[in-house]
Amino acid sequence: MHQLQFHRFLVVSFAVLSAAFSQTAAASTLCVNPAGSHPCFAKIQSAVNAASNNDTINVAPGTYTEDVVIGKPLSLIGAGAGQTIIDATNLANGILLDGLNNHGLRNVTIAGFTVENALYEGVLVLNTADATIRDNHIINNDTIGPVFGSGPACKGQPAYETDESGDCGGGLHLLGALHTIVSHNVLTGNADGILISDDAAESRDNLLIDNIVTDNPAECGIVLASHPPMGSTPPAFAPHFGVDHNTIAENVVSKNGVTVGGAGVGLFSDGEGQGATFANVVINNRIIGNGIPGVALHTHVGPAFHLPADNMSGNMIIGNFISGNGADTDDTATPGTTGININSGGGGSPVFGTIITGNIIRDEQVDIAVNTPTQVSAHLNDLRGGGIGAANVCALDQATCAGSINATENYWNCPTGPGTKGCTSTSGPNIISTPWLEKSITTETK
């Protein structure tokens, strides 16, 4: 390199490093406490408004009656759930990450709060990328609803929430969220615990890990639901943006949806246009005692209604412990309590590429129920529900029995295979169960 070129390289490099250092050095730490004692703010929103990009706001113990709206990258850190409380009574949300009105919002961290009593969501992550929601308690939100039916029936809810009538957004709602990490939160007393939807933009590549989602009575524990795009109107709803490539891992999901009917983990399209809930992974969760099947996949439009098919392809259900959940009804009916239900409903959208493997299923009348006009693969599962290990429920759902279940290499509760004394059995047509496993895949019994 010539001396002049090398000199220019050093000048440019120094300028880049100086700019990076200046950005880092410029980040500040602000504080909030109930008294607003100097130099702290008395309101969280005041600190957020005063903060610069990448600042940290530490919030002292106390109760803050606020609806905090964040439109810039920052870290909002409470003193711990149960100590720093955002009480959103008669307010829309406890915390809103608003990337819809602050385009390109990313890199927001929310940690160490109890968020309670919001009319809609406790925490709403809207059109935001790379957020982290950790170590919070999100409790007793959705106080205005739910109002059951279809459409935006939650009074006063914004137009970007296109189909929240059953849940008013849930305790935590990822709406048009990308690369969010949701970890070590407790969600209870809401409608849905956690909802991921696509009303305003695609929601993809989000990770939900190590959360406790329990006693959310009106809807699902964790639900991935594809909704019509904002501004789309019936009857010709636009194709949905998509809820895809999300990972639901190592959560405890129990006793949700027990008053009206909600799954432990639900993968749904709402029936209002061409939905897209695909390539998601539900892995290593403990899913117990929910109001409808532990993992429920429902589509609701499709060829039977002379409509385009939903895209519910490539979802994977792996390594979960599933026990004591409820039955599905209506157009996704199962013949009894069910661990996993893969169901095309009355619309008949084919559900391609579903993988069900390594799951332990106990205390269900039906371990795996299927109604879709394609093949579903279920291998290396421990089917100990006590009744039917695998059921093709197409006839029960008044659908043409065009689909099949490849249920080879599963353990059927005894070494001699399905339908023999002491074993779980199969029910319905087009089920392949031979060969089977002679030994359980696990030593776990409860």
What is the average per-residue pLDDT within 265-293? 96
Residue 196 within a domain? yes
Q: What is the DSSP string of 261-282?
A: T--SEEEEE-SSS--BEES-EE
What is the average per-residue pLDDT within 273-282? 96
Residue 80 within a domain? no
- Dihedral angle over CA of 239, 199, 159, 109, nearest 10: -160
The predicted structure's pLDDT at residue 209? 98
Residue 200 within a domain? yes
Average model confidence (pLDDT) for the chain? 91
Residue 296 has pLDDT above 60, yes or no: yes
Q: Tell me the percentage of the chain whose pLDDT exceeds 90.
A: 79
Residue 289 within a domain? yes
Residue 22 has pLDDT above 60, yes or no: no
Q: Could you read off the pLDDT of 231-256 as tens digits, one per residue?
A: 888 877 899 999 999 999 999 999 99
Residue 32 within a domain? no
Residue 22 within a domain? no
CATH number of the domain encompassing residue 300: 2.160.20
The predicted structure's pLDDT at residue 3? 47
State how far the alpha carbon of 399 is from the alpha carbons of 16, 338, 346, 347, 350, in Å: 64, 19, 7, 9, 12
The residues, ordered by sequence, that sit 6+ positions from 27 with a Cβ below 8 Å of its Cβ are: 52, 53, 54, 55, 56
Task: Give the domain range for residue 138.
Answer: 87-432
Q: Could you read off the pLDDT of 147-182 as tens digits, one per residue?
A: 665 555 688 889 999 888 778 889 999 999 999 999
Number of domains within the chain: 1
The predicted structure's pLDDT at residue 233? 83
The predicted structure's pLDDT at residue 419? 86
The predicted structure's pLDDT at residue 270? 87
What is the average per-residue pLDDT within 11-26? 45
What is the average per-residue pLDDT within 284-305? 95
Let me know: does 411 contact 439? Beta carbons within 8 Å: yes
The predicted structure's pLDDT at residue 446? 47
Residue 208 has pLDDT above 80, yes or no: yes
> What pTM did the predictor assign?
0.93
Q: Tell me the percentage of the chain whose pLDDT exceeds 70.
A: 92
Residue 62 within a domain? no
What is the C-alpha separation between 344 and 324, in angstroms, rounded?
Answer: 23
What is the C-alpha separation between 124 and 96, in angstroms, rounded?
Answer: 5
Structural tokens at position 156: 């006063």
Residue 395 within a domain? yes
